Amino acid sequence: MGNVAPRNADYKRGGESESKSMEVNGKIVVITGGGRGIGRAMAERFGRDGAQVALLDVSAADLEATRASLEAAGVTARSYEVNVANEEQVIATMDRIISDLGRLDVMINNAGILRDALLVKAKDGAIVSKMSLAQWQAVIDVNLTGVFLCGREAAERMIRLGNGGVIINISSVSRHGNAGQSNYSAAKAAVAALTVVWAKELARYGIRTGTISPGGTRTDILATMRPDMLAKLLRGETICNYPARLRCKAPSPPGPWCSPPDAGSCSSSPTISSRLPLLSRRSPTW
């Protein structure tokens, strides 16, 4: 795997170094799915704070529009057309970034897609649909394998360069389990777990790793949701609307429904708790 630069003394554990502050001026920030939505918004913010931005996306048109808009605002931005789920393309792109920009300080694994469907849907006793393997695989490929590949290749280059770095993985509040999103919830939960693994494995090289789990955010990704589900989401209602008989009887939760942190408090009522939704009106499902 080639030479590995010695550990950088500036990146000691436990907050001992000033160099671990949030100073991004002059840093190279790579953002997958940077062509639009949350990725584009992050690129604009990092750019405003003085970072140079590398945008990665499958959409050449979105890449070009975002790059041009950043450049017009005085931000140094490069764009790279790449499918994050394709190993060869990811490796080649990371090599180009290092060759173009000289280093890699922050890797944000943000590219994501939805292919929602119920696991199995029945009506009047007949099965009417199932989540297809293609729907499952597409989301796992982009939202999980893409994070793995880009995170791995970024970490390798950060270690070689010896300057440490930061890897941020974009998960979702759906990681707790959201009806209609077997594929998406599984991928986003795995991304949160990956982040913990990487934090343990990469800290020794001065690479910090974190997860952000956004809630509902108006972007194009929502266009693939069922309109009635989307309307509920945007009204701030849970899209997991369980009947009253499943209400939590435990006194401690603050609302009528159990949310993930409260679920344990229902253990005094196991029959009910085993059927309780893991979502609450207070924690919208995205």
Chain residues in the site for ligand NAD (CB under 6 A): 32-33, 35-39, 57-59, 62, 83-85, 110-113, 142, 146, 170, 172, 214, 216-217, 219-222, 286
Q: Are 110 and 31 in contact (CB under 8 A)?
A: yes
CA distances from 22 to 13, 25, 50, 75 (A): 16, 9, 12, 18
Angle at 262 between CA 261 and CA 264, to 5 degrees: 95
Q: State both tokens at 16.
A: 């001992």
Q: How far is the CB of 218 from ligand NAD (least distance, A)?
A: 7
Taking the least distance from each CB to ligand NAD, the nearer of 115 and 253 is 115
Taking the least distance from each CB to ligand NAD, the nearer of 38 and 166 is 38
Taking the least distance from each CB to ligand NAD, the nearer of 52 and 110 is 110
Other C-beta atoms closer than 10 Å to the C-beta of 188 total 27
Choosing from 80, 184, 205, 242, the catalytic residue is 184
Q: How far apart are CA 119 and CA 142, in angstroms?
A: 19
Q: Which residue, among 111, 114, 138, 113, has the nearest Cα to 56 in the 3D structure?
A: 111
Q: How far is the CB of 41 from ligand NAD (least distance, A)?
A: 8
Q: How far is the CB of 112 from ligand NAD (least distance, A)?
A: 2
Using CB atoms within 10 A of its CB, is residue 249 exposed (0-12), middle (13-18) or buried (19+)?
exposed
Taking the least distance from each CB to ligand NAD, the nearer of 163 and 285 is 285
Annotation marks residue 184 as catalytic: yes
Q: How far is the CB of 170 from ligand NAD (least distance, A)?
A: 4
Q: Are 80 and 55 in contact (CB under 8 A)?
A: yes
Q: Please identify every residue annotated as catalytic.
A: 184
